[in-house]
Amino acid sequence: MNEGSLLARSEFVARLRALEARYWDSHPFHRRLHSGELTKQDVQLWAANRWYYQRCIPLKDAAILAACPAAEIRRAWLARIVYHDGADTGEGGAQRWLRLAEAVGLSREEVLDERHLLPGVRFAVDAYVTFARTRPWLESVAAGLTELFAPGLMRQRVAAMRQHYPWIAEDGLDYFTSRIEVTPAEGSATLDLVVEHARTREQQLACVAALAFKCDVLWAILDALDYVTLDRATLAGSP
């Protein structure tokens, strides 16, 4: 086999999809969230910390725009920013996350001032933004392919939240129900974009590495949350 040759499309896609094994759906913290083991305080901490990730997504997407020389691709990618920031005040994915945070009992103020933000979460999310600001746009786009793995997780999450945390008002779940609607199309479009523009084996492997990096970012967010919430649970259970 020629080490320098382009991977076949099927092989390239298979290597990307294989990273689903490292997707954060199987992280212990998500398993505890989905099985109803978290306290209300834990759920609040999760919502407040995940906000920082939501808040930084448009910055990451704008960094991709800023690195991408092709107007056609920028035009398509711009919709990601509009999705999160909203077409008007009070709209958009970020606002839906704030409504979830309110539905779990947080004030908007304590989310926005980031008083609950864990350093490990901040560092992981910042690493993702820095990646998008410094790496070729294609790799940053490939990093976003975790959205290929997301729809199943979000369907599971909505069901789990209704079952185990019935105190969360239904409209707090709008973030997830609307993500379920858009991520399959986004994931498929992103995959096509990556496959089309990764024109050397080196680029293909860099895209696979970028997606692995993104899995690490998401995983590290939950590590930080798991560490703090487990510690609290242990303390609460001690005599």
Is residue 59 involved in binding a second copy (CB under 8 A)? yes
Give the position of tokens 């490292």.
22
Based on the shown chain and the rule CB under 8 A, indicate whether residue 98 belongs to the binding site for a second copy. Answer: no
Contact 146, 23 (CB under 8 A): yes
CA 7 to chain centre: 27
| Contacting residue, 1, 8, 21, 71, with a second copy by CB under 8 A | 71
Q: Which helix (H) or strand (E) holds 116?
A: none
The answer to the question of residue 81 lying near a second copy (CB under 8 A) is yes
Per CB under 8 A, 125 contacts a second copy: no
6: DSSP letter: P
Q: Binding of a second copy at residue 72 (CB under 8 A)?
A: yes
**Least distance in angstroms from the C-beta of 184 to a second copy:** 24
**Candidate list 30, 32, 50, 55; residue touching a second copy; CB under 8 A:** 55
**65 near a second copy, judged by CB under 8 A:** yes
Give dist(CA 128, CA 121) in Å, integer: 11
Stretch that binds a second copy, among 70-78, 176-184, 202-210, 211-219 (CB under 8 A): 70-78
Structural tokens at position 144: 């976003």
Establish if 57 lies at the interface with a second copy (CB under 8 A): no
- Burial-class residue 70 by CB neighbours within 10 Å (0-12, 13-18, 19+): exposed
Helices (H) and strands (E) counted in the chain, each on its own, are: 11, 0
The CA distance from 144 to 146, in Å, is 5
Rounded (10°) CA dihedral 2, 5, 11, 16: 120
Question: Is 63 a residue that touches a second copy (CB under 8 A)?
Answer: yes
Does position 132 bind a second copy by CB under 8 A? Answer: yes
Q: Tokens 């992981």 — which residue?
A: 124
Binding range to a second copy, per CB under 8 A, among 10-18, 66-74, 153-161, 226-234: 66-74
Name which of 60 and 157 has its Cβ closer to a second copy.
Answer: 60
User: Binding to a second copy by residue 136, rule CB under 8 A?
Assistant: no
For position 3 contacting a second copy by CB under 8 A, the verdict is no
Kindly list the residues in this chain that would bind a second copy in the complex (CB under 8 A): 55, 58-60, 62-63, 65-69, 71-72, 74-75, 78, 81-82, 85-89, 92, 94, 132-133
